[in-house]
Amino acid sequence: MKINSKYKSYNKFFNKKIYKLHLGKVFLICFILTIFPFLLACERDEINKKIITIAIISCITMQIIIQFVYFLHLKLPSTNIQQWNLISCFFTILIIIILVSGSIWIMHHLHHNLM
């Protein structure tokens, strides 16, 4: 059964429009998850520091998950390509953790040795 080209182009336009609307919603959610911790940090005199820390870490975690799933399209691996994308993402995260923790460790010991 052949599909008319008129309906194909309409379907592509409709899917593209829905996709842009979906990305707009996700972008708005990420924007809110960025602004909310900033506002909490600005009002730190009135709110307990533990509550601010927990709220900021939870916003960071939610934003990382949203970025991975909706913008980088990293989901549970169903194909070999997705599995390699997920493995490379975890390797990148591991390298970043090693660099940041190593830098903090070096700065701490530099401060310790200078005093």
12-48 pLDDT, tens digit per residue, is 555 677 777 777 888 899 999 999 999 988 887 777 8
Q: Are 54 and 14 part of one and the same domain?
A: yes
- Helix then strand count (H, E) for the chain reads 3, 0
| Res 9: pLDDT | 52
Q: Is the overall model pTM greater than 0.85, yes or no?
A: no
Q: How far is CA 1 from CA 4, 45, 59, in A?
A: 10, 68, 49
| Res 68: pLDDT | 83
Supply the range of the domain harboring residue 57.
Answer: 1-73
Our count of domains for the chain comes to 2
Q: Are 14 and 64 part of one and the same domain?
A: yes
Q: Are 66 and 10 part of one and the same domain?
A: yes
Q: Are 5 and 45 part of one and the same domain?
A: yes
Q: Are 51 and 84 part of one and the same domain?
A: no
Q: For residue 50, what are its two tokens?
A: 């533990």
Q: Are 84 and 108 part of one and the same domain?
A: yes
Q: Are 59 and 88 part of one and the same domain?
A: no
| Res 3: pLDDT | 52
Answer with the residue of higher pLDDT: 32 or 115. Answer: 32
Read off the pLDDT of residues 75-103 as tens digits, 9 standing for 90 and up.
776 777 777 878 888 899 999 999 999 99
| Res 4: pLDDT | 53
Q: Report the amino acid identity of residue 26.
A: V
